[in-house]
Structures are given as C-alpha cells and as structure tokens.
Amino acid sequence: DAGITQSPRHKVTETGTPVTLRCHQTENHRYMYWYRQDPGHGLRLIHYSYGVKDTDKGEVSDGYSVSRSKTEDFLLTLESATSSQTSVYFCAISESGFYGGEETQYFGPGTRLLVL
C-alpha cells in the first residue's frame, strides 16, 4: 500500500468556519491531488500539485485553496465552509503526471467532512 495518510479522518464543523485537511505521503512522489466524492458524481478533482509550491485548479476548485510547502504534505483549506462542501475528501499521489498518461494514482483513506 502507498504510504498516504489523511488527517483528520472525520470532522464536523459549522458553516462559515475555515477548515484545513492534511495529506501526508512517505513515497516522495512529485504529484499530489485532492478529490471529493459525492453520491452520483464519482470523484471530482479539486486541486493538484506538481511540485513544492506548484499547484493548479481542478474541476471543482471554487471555495477551496491548497498549499504545498514540502514534498510530503499537501493541505486543502475550505476558506469558509458551506453545507455544499459536506463530502468525503480523498488525497492521491502519483510519481509522474502530465506526460505519463498511464501513470497510476494511489489514494489515501479519505476524510469525511460534515458541515452543519
């Protein structure tokens, strides 16, 4: 199993509060991703990173920001949480990204977030 941990694993918060989710990897992979999983939607990409301090937006980035100050850590911040951000959030990593079309992404265990 890829060495990926996410914290916290479960969180309940109130609308309007900031929330930060952490993804930590021990594989030294260059690429990291944040997805959200919602019923009827599969998984959708929020943001990704292709190196330290190098990040870009995915399909559903509104209301989210990310930071990556170290290779091993990728943080996802909900600047002001809303009920529509209630979801399960998955971090993923891959060794290469853009040029490796076949590159496999490995997923963490997920964080279940409830915004009241």
Partner 1 sequence: GDSVTQMEGPVTLSEEAFLTINCTYTATGYPSLFWYVQYPGEGLQLLLKATKADDKGSNKGFEATYRKETTSFHLEKGSVQVSDSAVYFCALKGAGSYQLTFGKGTKLSVIP
- Contact residues for 19 (Cβ-Cβ < 8 A; gap 6+): 11, 13, 77, 78, 81, 113, 115
Query: Considering the complex, what minimum distance in angstroms separates the CB of residue 116 from partner 1?
Result: 22
Please give the residues from 41 up to 100 whose contact with partner 1 meets the rule CB under 8 A: 41-45, 48, 50, 56, 58-59, 90, 92, 97-99
- Residue 102 interacting with partner 1 (CB under 8 A): yes
Q: Is 24 near partner 1 (CB under 8 A)?
A: no
Measured from the CB of residue 15, what is the shortest distance to partner 1 in angstroms?
Answer: 26
Q: Residue 112, CB half-sphere, CA atoms under 13 Å: how many?
A: 1
63 close to 76: Cβ distance less than 8 angstroms: no
